[in-house]
A and B are shown apart, each in its own frame.
Chain A
Amino acid sequence: MASTTRFTTRPLSLRFRLTRMFLKSESLRGYTLLSPTLMAMILGLVMPLAVLFTLSFWIQEYLDFIQTFSLKNYTDFFQKPIYIKILFKSIRMSSLVTFVTVLLAYPMAYFIAFRIQRNKLIWLILITVPFWTSYLLRVFAWKIMLGYNGVINSGLKSLGLLNEPLEFLLYNPTSVVITLAHAWAAFAILPIYVSLEKIDRSLLEAARDLGENSFMTFVRVTLPLSLPGVIAASLLVFIPTVGDYVTPSLVGGPRGIMIGNIIQSMFGKAQNWPLGAAISVMSMITVTLMVCLFLWGTHSFRKRIA
């Protein structure tokens, strides 16, 4: 909404006109309030990502960058099979983590939303309490659980079920998946709970009155209506876990490494920032594609059962 042109005998001063325009235009006042936040996001998000993208076309030579356009990092990425292999392995592992976490979380969220009548807040707090411990220590806790002289091995040994501790429990992709599924549990339960809680209970009664049994009521009413929560939970777990390098380096061992470890080493020991940037760009593109595919999949699933 620009200031309306009004003819006056005297031309208004510029300052006055600007002030009037500012007060009249809602958008402009809104943008002014929004501008500090937007500035921070441009400075801390748009510019860094632009620089990352640019750097991925440069070349590392000893300690310097050769600042001419080159596709060498990308050809490296596609020609050395290790990068693509680890990227796909990370995506497979994170998908598994997401699937397991959401599958385990759903009944729990359902229980709190539908079976608990009073003190729901206490249950929600009960679920978040373990997550007040530092993330690093929560991951470390699984080393205690699965380690050579850890909880499971010592437990089985004292029960007389084992003579020698099991060595395959720790330092493999499975231990990474278990640890991640534990570390991200709260992120899955809360969004699913919120979407279940929002469901109008009379819809469920209506389905029952119209002759559906409780299982079909769940499949045809509750599940589709809680899908937004399931989608949010899946994304909240999938996206951060793909890039995680803390968990693989603590409990993954050599076979459990993920793409985050590769990127981290490019910025650390391997000292090849441009290649690290190219791998990051490719990971980001792949993750975005996976997310789009997932959203498209859930969308068509929803259409089919609705």
Chain B
Amino acid sequence: MSNIRIWKKPDGFLIYAILYLTFIYLPVLFLPLFSFNNSTYITFPLKDFTLKWYDKMIHSPSMLEALLNSIKVGLLVAIFSTILGMLAARAVTRYRLRGRGPLVSFIMIPLVIPEIILAISLLILISQANIPLSLWTIGFSHLLLCIPFSMLILISRMEGFDKSLEEAALDLGENAWITFWRVTFPIVLPGIVASLLLTFTISFDEFVLAFFLSSTDATLPIYIWSSLRFPTKIPAVLALGSSIFVISFFVVSFAEWVRRRGIKLETTSGI
């Protein structure tokens, strides 16, 4: 009843919401615009339409290598962070741990330290230990940043978990591994997928840690950073940014579609 009234007379909140969306969308929409603009300079007035920056992007080996590096690091970080986050989440939700609160807050610390301080402390430790900088050092630093997120997501998924389901499986004669695979894992799966997606995204876009802990192998944000100083390279970077945006849009839509299908199947099989 009340929502009919609201939609008939658009109140201040709706107008505000539209203005707010304009504020967060407007600057970002200029990035793809300039990736189709036939000029090296990112200024108005616009020149004519071109696809040459996309062509240049495909033929830039250093950019593609950086992209590949980012994907490699992101995948490894996502997998390891989810495994470690899952072990930790399982430990704090399944067992009565002494000192649970402090331990969880300890793992959350990377979220409340400015990244630059995390980056330089790791840099100091790594250089004092004479470990050469590489994609591995970047990956390790990303792991630290991602574990808290994995753990938070998986704790919230496991907290509603009914212990008796596992106990039932064990009582019915399944061993611990089978119980895990057939009972625990399917229930936690949505949390695992969410954790993988989020941690990959964090690692893929992370710049500060990568900047301090990289050597010659650049990740994509480092490549973008170095290109921003050279005007001639910017349009191709904008082309890549726009492409990644479109791809991630489809990936997220696909994930959402799969999720909804999953819910539908669950409910229909339940009936």
The answer on a CB contact under 8 Å between B13 and A36 is no
Within B9-40, the residues touching A (CB, 8 Å) are: 11, 13-14, 16-17, 20-21, 23-28, 30-31, 34
Task: Check if B267 is an interface residue, CB within 8 A of chain A.
Answer: no
Instruction: From B28, B45, B144, give the contact of A45 (CB < 8 A).
Output: B144
The answer on a CB contact under 8 Å between B114 and A260 is yes
The answer on a CB contact under 8 Å between A138 and B120 is no
Task: Considering the complex, give the chain B residue whose CB is closest to the CB of A157.
Answer: B44
Q: Mark B43-87, 1 if CB is under 8 A from A, else 0.
A: 111000000000000000000000000000000000000001101
Segment from B89-97, B163-171, B177-185, B186-194 that makes contact with A: B89-97
Instruction: From B31, B96, B144, give the contact of A44 (CB < 8 A).
Output: B144
Interface centre among B25, B85, B88, B207 (most CB of A within 10 A): B88
The answer on a CB contact under 8 Å between A150 and B43 is yes
Segment from A2-10, A69-77, A272-280 that makes contact with B: A272-280
Task: Check if A287 is an interface residue, CB within 8 A of chain B.
Answer: yes
Task: Check if B117 is an interface residue, CB within 8 A of chain A.
Answer: yes
Instruction: From A33, A133, A287, give the contact of B241 (CB < 8 A).
Output: A133
Task: Check if A160 is an interface residue, CB within 8 A of chain B.
Answer: no
Within B235-260, the residues touching A (CB, 8 Å) are: 237-238, 241, 244-245, 248-249, 252, 256
The answer on a CB contact under 8 Å between A273 and B124 is yes
Q: Say whether, besides A41-B147, A45-B144, A276-B120, A34 and B92 are in contact (CB < 8 Å).
A: yes
Minimum Cβ distance to chain B for residue A203 (Å): 17
The answer on a CB contact under 8 Å between A38 and B212 is no
Minimum Cβ distance to chain A for residue B227 (Å): 9
B residues near A40, Cβ cutoff 8 Å: 84, 143-144, 147
The answer on a CB contact under 8 Å between A110 and B13 is yes
The answer on a CB contact under 8 Å between A239 and B205 is no
The answer on a CB contact under 8 Å between A29 and B95 is yes
Segment from A12-20, A49-57, A223-231 that makes contact with B: A49-57
Minimum Cβ distance to chain B for residue A5 (Å): 21
The answer on a CB contact under 8 Å between B88 and A239 is no
B residues near A33, Cβ cutoff 8 Å: 87-88, 90-91, 94-95
Instruction: From A104, A151, A243, A264, give the contact of B20 (CB < 8 A).
Output: A104
Complex Cα distance, B141 from A300, in Å, reads 37
Task: Check if A305 is an interface residue, CB within 8 A of chain B.
Answer: no
Complex Cα distance, B103 from A29, in Å, reads 15
Please give the number of chain A residues whose Cβ is less than 8 angstroms from any Cβ of chain B in the complex: 77
Minimum Cβ distance to chain B for residue A93 (Å): 14
Minimum Cβ distance to chain A for residue B210 (Å): 11
The answer on a CB contact under 8 Å between A49 and B241 is no
Task: Check if A163 is an interface residue, CB within 8 A of chain B.
Answer: no
Task: Check if B265 is an interface residue, CB within 8 A of chain A.
Answer: no
B residues near A141, Cβ cutoff 8 Å: 27-28, 30-31
Task: Check if B107 is an interface residue, CB within 8 A of chain A.
Answer: yes
Task: Check if A108 is an interface residue, CB within 8 A of chain B.
Answer: yes
Task: Check if A30 is an interface residue, CB within 8 A of chain B.
Answer: yes
The answer on a CB contact under 8 Å between A55 and B124 is yes
Minimum Cβ distance to chain B for residue A274 (Å): 10
Q: Say whether, besides A27-B96, A30-B97, A34-B92, A44 and B44 are in contact (CB < 8 Å).
A: no
A residues near B96, Cβ cutoff 8 Å: 26-27, 30
The answer on a CB contact under 8 Å between B221 and A135 is yes
Task: Check if A68 is an interface residue, CB within 8 A of chain B.
Answer: no
The answer on a CB contact under 8 Å between A137 and B238 is yes
Minimum Cβ distance to chain B for residue A42 (Å): 9
Task: Considering the complex, give the chain A residue whose CB is closest to the CB of B27.
Answer: A141
Interface centre among A32, A49, A147, A148 (most CB of B within 10 A): A49
Q: Say whether, besides A48-B124, A52-B121, A136-B228, A129 and B30 are in contact (CB < 8 Å).
A: no
B residues near A51, Cβ cutoff 8 Å: 121, 124-125, 128
Instruction: From B98, B208, B249, give the contact of A129 (CB < 8 A).
Output: B249
Task: Check if B225 is an interface residue, CB within 8 A of chain A.
Answer: yes
The answer on a CB contact under 8 Å between B95 and A111 is no
A residues near B117, Cβ cutoff 8 Å: 52, 243, 263, 280, 283-284
Complex Cα distance, B84 from A276, in Å, reads 32
B residues near A36, Cβ cutoff 8 Å: 84, 87
A residues near B228, Cβ cutoff 8 Å: 136, 140, 250
Minimum Cβ distance to chain A for residue B57 (Å): 14
Residues of A whose CB lies within 8 Å of any CB of B are 26-27, 29-34, 36-38, 40-41, 44-45, 47-49, 51-52, 55, 104, 107-108, 110-112, 115, 117, 125-127, 129-130, 132-138, 140-145, 147-151, 154, 182, 185, 235-236, 239-240, 242-246, 250, 260, 263-264, 267, 273, 276-277, 280, 283-284, 287, 291
Having A48-B122, A145-B26, one finds 6 other A-B pairs with CB under 8 Å, namely A30-B94, A37-B88, A52-B121, A104-B23, A243-B117, A246-B225
Q: Could you list 25 A-B pairs, sorted by A, with CB under 8 Å? A: A27-B95, A30-B92, A38-B88, A41-B144, A44-B122, A44-B144, A45-B109, A48-B121, A52-B121, A111-B16, A133-B28, A134-B205, A136-B221, A136-B228, A137-B31, A138-B27, A145-B27, A150-B44, A154-B44, A182-B24, A240-B114, A242-B114, A243-B117, A245-B116, A267-B123
